[in-house]
Structure 1
Amino acid sequence: MSTAEPTTRRRRGAFSSRKVFIFAAIGSAVGLGNIWRFPYVAYENGGGAFMIPYLVALLGAGLPFLLLDYALGHKYRGSAPLSFARLRRGAESLGWWQVGICFLIAIYYAAIIAWALRYMIFSVDEAWGAKPEEFLFETFLQAGDPGIDTTIVVGVLVPLAIVWGVVVLVMALGVEKGIGKLSLYFIPVLVVAFAALVVRALTLDGAATGLDALFTPHWAALTEPGVWGAAFGQIFFSLSIGFGVMITYASYVDEDSDMSGAGMVVGFANSGFELLAGIGVFAALGFMAQAQGMAVDEVAADGLGLAFVVFPTLISEAPAGALIGVLFFGSLVIAGLTSLVSVLEVVVSAVRDKLELGRVTAALAVSVPAAVVSLVLFSTTSGVHVLDIIDHFINQYGILLVAVVSMLVVAWSLRALPDLADHLNRTGSLKLGRTWFLLVGILVPAALTYILVDALVADIKEPYAGYPGWMLGWLGWGAAGGVIVLGVVLSRLPWRPETPLTAPYDRPDADQAVKKEEIR
Structure 2
Amino acid sequence: MKREQWGSRTGFILAAVGSAVGLGNIWRFPYMAYENGGGAFFIPYLFAMLTAGIPFMILEFTLGHKFRAGAPKTLGTLNSKFEWLGWFQVMISAIIAFYYVVVIAWAISFVYFAFNQSWGEDSNAFFFGEFLGLGDDSAPSNLGSLQWNLLLPLCLAWAATYFATFRGVKGGIEKVNKVLMPLLFAMVLLLIGRIAFLPGALEGIDWLLKPDFSKIWDLKVWSAAYGQIFFTLSVGFAIMLSYASYLPKKSDINNNAFMTVLMNCGFSILAGIMIFGALGYMANVQDKELTEVVSSGVGLAFVTLPTAINLLPAPGVMGPLFFLALMFAGVSSHISIAEAVTTGLMDKLGWSRPKTATVFCSVGFVVSLLFITQGGLLLLDLVDYFINNIALLGSCLLELLLVGWLCRLQDFRAYANQISEFSVGNWWTVCIKFVSIAMLIVILFNNIKTAFLEGYGGYASAEVTYIGWGMITLMLIVAIIVNVSSKQESKI
The residue type equivalent to 2:372 in the other structure is S
Q: Once structures 1 and 2 are overlaid, which stretch shifts more, 474-483 or 104-113?
A: 474-483
Matches within 5 A, 1:159-308: 159-308=153-302
3-state SS of the aligned residue for 2:115?
Answer: helix
Matched-pair contact (CA < 8 Å) for 1:225–1:454 = no
TM-score w.r.t. the length of structure 1 is 0.91
- d(CA) in 1 for partners of 2:466, 2:313: 46
Aligned to 1:389: 382
1:489 aligned onto 2:464:
no
Q: Deviations over 1:310-353 (max 9, x none)?
A: 11001111111121111111001111111101011111001101
Q: Aligned-pair distance for 1:459?
A: 2.3
Matches within 5 A, 1:60-459: 60-144=51-135, 145-147=138-140, 148-375=142-369, 377-413=370-406, 415-459=407-451
Q: Aligned-pair distance for 1:25?
A: 0.6
Matched-pair contact (CA < 8 Å) for 1:463–1:469 = yes
- d(CA) in 1 for partners of 2:479, 2:488: 18
Which runs of at least 4 in structure 1 moved beyond 6 Å after TM superposition?
none
- d(CA) in 1 for partners of 2:362, 2:409: 38
Q: Deviations over 1:104-126 (max 9, x none)?
A: 11111101111011011111111
Computed over aligned residues only, the root mean square deviation of the Cα atoms, in angstroms, reads 1.7
3-state SS of the aligned residue for 2:457?
Answer: helix
Q: Aligned-pair distance for 1:219?
A: 3.4
Q: Deviations over 1:115-172 (max 9, x none)?
A: 0110111111111111001111011011124342231111222211221122122211
- d(CA) in 2 for partners of 1:201, 1:20: 31
Aligned to 1:36: 27
The residue type equivalent to 1:247 in the other structure is L
- d(CA) in 2 for partners of 1:495, 1:18: 36
- d(CA) in 2 for partners of 1:233, 1:374: 27
3-state SS of the aligned residue for 1:151?
Answer: coil
* Number of matched pairs: 488
Q: Aligned-pair distance for 1:472?
A: 1.3
- d(CA) in 2 for partners of 1:176, 1:495: 33
Q: Once structures 1 and 2 are overlaid, which stretch shifts more, 86-95 or 341-350?
A: 86-95
Matched-pair contact (CA < 8 Å) for 1:99–1:243 = yes
TM-score w.r.t. the length of structure 2 is 0.96
Q: Aligned-pair distance for 1:496?
A: 11
3-state SS of the aligned residue for 1:492?
Answer: helix
Identical columns (%): 39
- d(CA) in 2 for partners of 1:348, 1:152: 28
- d(CA) in 2 for partners of 1:496, 1:26: 38
Ranges in structure 2 where 5+ consecutive residues have no aligned partner: none
The residue type equivalent to 2:225 in the other structure is A
Ranges in structure 1 where 5+ consecutive residues have no aligned partner: 1-6, 500-520
Matched-pair contact (CA < 8 Å) for 1:226–1:451 = no
Matched-pair contact (CA < 8 Å) for 1:354–1:496 = no
3-state SS of the aligned residue for 1:493?
Answer: helix
Q: Aligned-pair distance for 1:491?
A: 1.6
- d(CA) in 2 for partners of 1:260, 1:491: 31
Q: Aligned-pair distance for 1:247?
A: 0.5
Q: Aligned-pair distance for 1:486?
A: 2.5
Evaluate the alpha carbon distance shift between residue 496 and residue 432 of structure 1 in structure 2; reply closer, same or farther with a 3 A threshold. farther
- d(CA) in 2 for partners of 1:131, 1:366: 38
- d(CA) in 1 for partners of 2:208, 2:10: 34
- d(CA) in 1 for partners of 2:422, 2:86: 26
The residue type equivalent to 2:479 in the other structure is G
- d(CA) in 1 for partners of 2:474, 2:258: 34
Evaluate the alpha carbon distance shift between residue 423 and residue 343 of structure 1 in structure 2; reply closer, same or farther with a 3 A threshold. same
Q: Once structures 1 and 2 are overlaid, which stretch shifts more, 227-236 or 169-178?
A: 227-236
Q: Aligned-pair distance for 1:495?
A: 7.7
Q: Once structures 1 and 2 are overlaid, which stretch shifts more, 84-93 or 359-368?
A: 84-93
